[in-house]
């Protein structure tokens, strides 16, 4: 969520609203993953790639589940380029989570841009693709941050469910928090580098599938809309 005291924020869009505003020409998708009619949910991971990430990728591959990875720069994209390349090769969406996880609302415009650009460069150099999505650390954003993101071509993505896995290694608790909080069009926030998280993923996937959910990337969740630079997307 957007933290209080971070300045004004005037452009927040839900996935359903984004889809509803899409052009009439995009009403029919050449894909069964039409979240206007399917019960979709996006699984997202922040702060990687890290040493445990390949184990998570193995699970996602086995389950045929796409995820959106909001990758961090320092100690991550510059340290695990092969893992980043594997994410892209296996069809996952790669997005930007800043170079050093600074709270963007505490920075000036040039400093905000400096947090974003090295990750853009790393991802483009390693995967051949440039991110179009980002997630602000702690969800803290505002109109000044949004203006910089618009210039950089980045849409902002928040979340609707967090297990607070940074504060617990209890896999059962992480699983329960995600399952209790997930609704249609949900965006689930997890961090694969914490010990309790990866063991929770198979159970989360299995139970949500039993409940009729289809797993999609964030961009697929918004389709046929195209994420708009500077906009903030939150269920």
Question: Which residues are tagged catalytic?
Answer: 46, 191
Please check whether residue 114 is in contact with residue 99, taking contact to mean a CB–CB distance below 8 angstroms.
yes
Contacts (Cβ under 8 Å, ≥6 apart) of 164: 177
Closest CA to 151 of 60, 234, 229: 229
Q: What is the rounded distance in angstroms from the CA atom of residue 28 to the CA atom of residue 224?
A: 8
List alpha helices for the chain, DSSP H. 15-20, 53-63, 81-89, 109-127, 143-152, 171-181, 201-210, 218-222
**Tokens 């959106």 map to which residue?**
68
Nearest CA among 76, 152, 78, 82 for reference residue 117: 152
- Please tell me whether residue 202 adopts helix, strand or coil conformation: helix
């Amino acid at each position: 969520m957007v933290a209080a005291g971070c300045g004004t924020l005037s452009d927040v869009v839900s996935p359903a609203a984004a889809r509803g505003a899409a052009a009439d020409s995009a009403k029919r998708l050449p894909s069964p993953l039409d979240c206007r009619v399917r019960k979709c949910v996006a699984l997202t991971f922040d702060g990687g790639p890290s040493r445990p990430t390949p184990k998570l990728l193995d699970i996602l591959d086995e389950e045929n589940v796409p995820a959106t990875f909001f990758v961090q720069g320092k100690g991550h994209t510059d340290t695990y380029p092969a893992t980043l390349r594997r994410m892209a090769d296996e069809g996952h969406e790669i997005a930007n989570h800043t170079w050093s996880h600074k709270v963007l609302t505490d920075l000036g415009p040039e400093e905000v841009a400096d947090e974003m650009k090295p990750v853009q460069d790393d991802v483009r150099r390693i995967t051949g693709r440039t991110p179009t999505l980002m997630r602000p650390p702690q969800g803290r954003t505002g109109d000044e941050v949004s203006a910089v993101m618009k210039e950089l071509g980045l849409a902002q993505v928040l979340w609707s469910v967090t297990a607070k896995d940074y504060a617990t290694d209890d896999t059962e608790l992480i699983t329960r928090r995600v399952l209790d909080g997930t609704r249609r069009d949900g965006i689930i926030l997890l961090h694969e580098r914490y010990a309790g998280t990866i063991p929770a993923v198979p159970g989360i996937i299995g139970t949500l599938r039993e409940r009729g959910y289809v797993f999609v990337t964030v961009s697929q969740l918004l389709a046929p809309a195209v994420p708009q630079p500077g906009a903030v997307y939150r269920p």
